[in-house]
Amino acid sequence: MLSHVTAANRPSMVDVGDKAVTTRIARARAVVAFPEDIAGGKGDPLQTKKGPVIDTAIVAGVLAAKQTHHLIPFCHPIPLEDCSIEVDWNEEDELVIDCSVRATHKTGVEMEALTGAAAAALTVYDMCKSLSHGIRIRDVRLVAKTGGKSDFRADE
Sketch the domain layout of the chain as residue ranges: 22-147
What are the E-state strand segments in the chain?
22-33, 47-48, 51-52, 82-89, 95-105, 136-146, 152-153
d(CA 67, CA 78): 9
pLDDT at 2: 62
> Which tens digit of pLDDT belongs to each residue from 123-155?
999 999 988 899 999 999 999 999 988 899 998
> How far from the centroid of its chain's Cα atoms is residue 126's Cα?
16
Residues 6+ apart with CB under 8 A from 34: 41, 93, 94, 95, 128, 131, 132, 134, 135
pLDDT at 13: 79
Collapsing DSSP states into helix, strand and coil, what is residue 129?
A: coil
pTM: 0.89
What residues pair up with 5 in beta bridges, in sequence order? 11
> Which tens digit of pLDDT belongs to each residue from 64-102?
999 999 999 889 999 999 999 999 999 888 999 999 999
Give the Å distances, CA to CA, from 138 to 9, 107, 118, 133.
32, 27, 9, 14
pLDDT at 109: 96
d(CA 78, CA 104): 9
Does 126 participate in catalysis according to the annotation? yes
Mean pLDDT of 103-117: 96
More confident of the two residues 44 and 68: 68
d(CA 135, CA 123): 12
CATH number of 22-147: 3.30.70.640
Name which of 156, 31, 155, 138 is nearest 88 in CA terms.
31
* Residue among 15, 37, 126, 155 flagged as catalytic: 126
